[in-house]
Amino acid sequence: MKVLANDGISPEGVSKLEEAGFVVSTTFVPQDQLIDVINNEGYEVLLVRSATTVRKDLIDACPNLKFIGRGGVGMDNIDVAYARSIGRIVQNTPAASSQSVAEMVMGNMFAISRSLHDSYKNMPVNGETEFKTLKKKYGKGVELNGKTLLIIGFGRIGQALASYALGVGMKVTAVDMSTATVSIPLTIHGIGTVHAEITPTNDLHAVLGTADYISIHVPKQADGSAVIQKSEFNAMKDGVRIINAARGGVVNEDDLLAALASGKVAAAALDVFENEPTPRKDLLTHEKIACTPHIGAATIEAQDRIGGEMADLIISAFIKA
Give yes or no: residues 159 and 280 share one domain.
yes
Q: Are residues 77 and 147 in the same domain?
A: no
Position 320 scores a pLDDT of 67
Q: What's the CATH number where 91 sits?
A: 3.40.50.720
Amino acid 55: pLDDT:
97
Which is nearest to 250 in space by CA: 236, 264, 271?
271
Q: What are phi and psi of 318, to 5 degrees?
A: -120, -15
List Cα–Cα distances, 200 to 144, 154, 223, in angstroms.
21, 8, 24
Q: How far is CA 159 from the centre of its chain?
A: 13
90, 109: one domain: no
Known active-site residue 195: no
Q: Does the annotation count 156 as an active-site position?
A: no
pLDDT at 87: 97
Do 314 and 183 fall within a single domain? no
Residues 126 and 12 in one domain: no
Alpha-carbon distance of 231 to 36, in angstroms, equals 46
88, 210: one domain? no
Contact between 80 and 90 (Cβ < 8 Å)? yes
The tally of domains found in the chain comes to: 2
Contacts of 307 (CB under 8 A, 6+ apart): 9, 10, 11, 12, 13, 14, 16, 71
Catalytic position from the list 12, 44, 130, 276: 276
Assess whether 51 and 165 both reside in one domain: no
Same domain, 116 and 15: no
102 & 88 share domain: no
294 a catalytic residue: yes
Residue 121 shares a structural domain with residue 268: yes
**What predicted TM-score, i.e. pTM, was given to this entire model?**
0.89
pLDDT at 224 (0 to 100): 86
Rounded CA-CA distance 104/108 in Å is 6
Check 88, 294, 305, 309 and give the catalytic one.
294
Active-site residue (options: 88, 156, 247, 305): 247
Same domain? For 152 and 32 the reply is no
Q: For residue 41, give its domain range.
A: 2-96+300-318
Q: What is the pLDDT of residues 96-146, one digit of tens each?
A: 999 999 999 999 999 999 999 999 999 999 999 999 999 999 999 999 999
Distance between CA 137 and CA 113 in Å, rounded?
13
The pLDDT, as a whole number, for residue 313 is: 96
Residues 159 and 122 both lie in one domain: yes
Residue ranges in the chain modelled with pLDDT below 70: 320-321
